Structure 1
Amino acid sequence: MRFAISIPQLVEDGTFDPAAFRAFLTRAEELGFESAWTSESTLGAAPMLSPLETMTYAAACTETLRLGCVVFVTPLHSPVHLAKSLASLDQLSRGRIEIGVGTGGRGRMFSAFGVEPDGLVARFNEGLKLMEGLWTESRLTFKGRFWQLEGAAMEPKPFQKPFPPLWFGGNAPAALRRAVRHGDGFFGAGSQTTEQFAGQVRLVREALEDQGRDPATFQIAKRVYLGVGEPSVRVRLGEALRRMYAHAGPEIEAVGVSGSADEVVAGLREVADAGAELILLNPMFDDADQLERLAAEVIPQLKNEPSRSRTPSRPGAHAEPCA
């Protein structure tokens, strides 16, 4: 079982503490977390920092920690600009970037981004193919439905070759099959319960078999919102989740794992048994304190258990480009 930590992104106006941010990431690196992740929420009431800028700041604060976003809602981005930003960040971090991508679904204010909801999946597929072309070809001629380039060059390429690992989000069966066909891994959402995630993993494994893909070349992960401590953490976690998912009903509280260290261990064990090889631990408050408690009270119990997971493939071993 492998563990990642969420990068603190919830920052009220005027309250960002650079020293605390650096200390959190330095400590996460010292404690042996293999990666740290952001998420993307451009519009919303929760005060969430942008992922790219947060990852860039994090890269300057660390030496070995891998850094990612799950997920960039890529149809809302210019793929040329996003490809340039990610290639630059991979260079600046000396090859420590992981990239999560997803369509984001139809529940978005598409008009704010100049994007039509029709053809969302086609736009996602074409944009990803364009990014991969810019990352791998010295000159790219691209004649797509949404974007056209003639002999375009983008330098420098990503530090990782051919480009950083690609994780796919999503929950629909078609999205899971697309992840297996084009990605390096599937990342289950924090807004999904463990039971829902287990069903997604079953579909992923069926797709791996149907497509004749070696499971050892494909990783499975899940974000878990959590809180360790006294019974009051359940109330605090529920409040934080309702604030982040303002349009969700009270059932959103069921996605969290909270309570004593033993209760959190039990909840994370269920996530691992459902198929997660990498678990992204996502405290929703008291980030520094929760980091220490997870490292001291929770992770050692899980790491001392017999391994249920296979060894993952090396980062950056890609399937064929997205078509």
Structure 2
Amino acid sequence: MRFAVAPPYDNGAPADPRFMTELAETADRLGFDSLYLSEHIVVVSDYERLHHYTPDGDIGLPDDTPFPDPLAVLGHVAACTERLRLATSVLILPEHHPVQLAKRLATMDVLSGGRLRIGVGVGWMREEMAALGVDYASRGRRTDEAIRVLRALWSSDPSDFAGEFFAFRGARCFPKPVQPGGVPIHVGGHSEAAARRAGRLGDGFHPLGVDLALLPELTGVVRHHATLAGRDPDAIEVTLTVSLTATDPSFVRRATVAGVDRLVLSCRSLRLPQIRAEMERIAIEHGL
């Protein structure tokens, strides 16, 4: 089992350079696999409560909670670490133009020495997408196509693409990512649609808000659709987010049996000394 960490958004930590430096350096020193950041470009007041990961559909944070650009923060993390991988959970892919995003991600991968991994999702906040001029109803198709655009620009030169939303001929995008095959793309979500997308297009599956007992059903969908697409289902990693303080050896064993490769430990509502102590405990318990 590999372990990653995600900072608490409810205390503004991702926008605090001192906090992020200390968290990243601690994770790097203790042997954690990666550090994860989330994304909301804007949070619109009085949004429709469609958040799938809380009982009332509310994001559970004040509207003025800082959500800094995750890629910018990960650049900061890269500069103060040596081996820690940099990840998102998740980047809301339909809110980005994939041609521009391909350049940003490839540049980050080069400058970090091949340490970038992106988790992507379709998003859920209608009002956020409306503010960006993105059609909510087509976000799934747009996400599928964006993944294909990223892979095309990273893998061939020049690149041609013709799709429903994006098209180009003879596009040359340099630098290419350091990692063979490009930056790994993990598909986040809780639905069967997300699981199907991970099987068809993803290097990994990052189910969000899914109980461990229900995970095998979704990973079965991932494996089935990977096989249908002629891909190796065993090569698709499974990442699960859980509370930092709720992670004990028994849970880790059950997660391993359920097919989880990586646990992202959420630090919600915790201060840095508590986070550091819990991370040290986990590093000792699991021999990181």
Which TM bucket (shorter chain)?
0.7 to 0.9
Give the RMSD, CA atoms, in angstroms: 2.7
**Inter-partner Cα distance in structure 2 for 1:188 and 1:77:** 21
> Counterpart in 1 of 2:29?
30
Q: SS of 2:140's equivalent?
A: helix
Say whether residues 1:42 and 2:49 are aligned partners: no
TM-aligned CA distance change 1:16 to 1:208, over 3 Å: closer
Shift of 1:275: 2.5
Q: SS of 1:100's equivalent?
A: strand
- The answer to which of 77-86 and 285-294 deviates more is 285-294
Say whether residues 1:296 and 2:280 are aligned partners: yes
- Give the percent of matched residue pairs that are identical in Structure 1 and Structure 2: 32
Q: SS of 2:206's equivalent?
A: strand
> Counterpart in 2 of 1:182?
201
CA contact (8 A) 1:3 1:33 kept: yes
Larger gyration radius, structure 1 or structure 2: 1
TM-aligned CA distance change 1:212 to 1:128, over 3 Å: closer
CA contact (8 A) 1:95 1:160 kept: yes
1:238-253 correspondence runs (5 A): none
- The answer to which of 196-205 and 51-60 deviates more is 196-205
Say whether residues 1:281 and 2:273 are aligned partners: no
- The answer to which of 165-174 and 101-110 deviates more is 101-110
> Counterpart in 2 of 1:51?
70
Gapped regions of structure 1 (runs ≥ 5): 228-256, 258-262, 305-323
Shift of 1:55: 0.7
**Inter-partner Cα distance in structure 2 for 1:208 and 1:140:** 25
**Inter-partner Cα distance in structure 2 for 1:31 and 1:282:** 17
> Counterpart in 1 of 2:188?
169
**Inter-partner Cα distance in structure 2 for 1:276 and 1:118:** 31
1:148-167 correspondence runs (5 A): 148-167=167-186
Gapped regions of structure 2 (runs ≥ 5): 44-62
Q: SS of 1:169's equivalent?
A: strand
CA contact (8 A) 1:11 1:48 kept: no
Total equivalences in the alignment: 268
Give the structure-1-normalised TM-score. 0.74
Q: SS of 2:179's equivalent?
A: coil
**Inter-partner Cα distance in structure 2 for 1:17 and 1:167:** 27
Encode CA deviations 1:196-217: one digit per residue, 9 max, x unaligned: 4343234334445555644431
CA contact (8 A) 2:30 2:283 kept: no
> Counterpart in 2 of 1:140?
159
> Counterpart in 2 of 1:130?
149
**Inter-partner Cα distance in structure 2 for 1:106 and 1:54:** 22
CA contact (8 A) 1:11 1:49 kept: no
